[in-house]
Copies of this chain bind each other. A is one copy, B any other.
Amino acid sequence: MAQSDLDRFDRRLLALVQRDAAQTADALAGQVGLSASAVQRRLKRLRETGVILSEIAVIDPLKAGKPNFFLAALEIERERPELIARLRQWLGAEEQIQQVYYVTGTADFVLVVVAPDVGAYDALMSRLMADNPNVRRFTTNVALGVGKRGLFVPIAD
- Measuring CB to CB, which residues of chain A are less than 8 angstroms from any residue of chain B? 1-3, 6, 11, 14, 17-22, 49-61, 63-67, 69, 71, 73, 88, 91-92, 95-107, 109-110, 112, 114-116, 139-156
Contacts and interface: CB of A to CB of B under 8 A. Distances in A.
B142 A20 contact: no
A52 B58 CA distance: 6
Given A51-B60, A58-B53, A102 B155 contact: no
A19 to B, nearest CB: 7
Contact of A141 (B56, B101, B139): B101
Contacts of A114: 152-154
Given A1-B63, A56-B20, A110-B71, A91 B51 contact: no
A18 B102 contact: no
B49 A63 contact: yes
A124 to B, nearest CB: 11
Contacts of A109: 147
A109 B103 CA distance: 18
Nearest to A23: B55
Contacts of A92: 147-148
A113 to B, nearest CB: 11
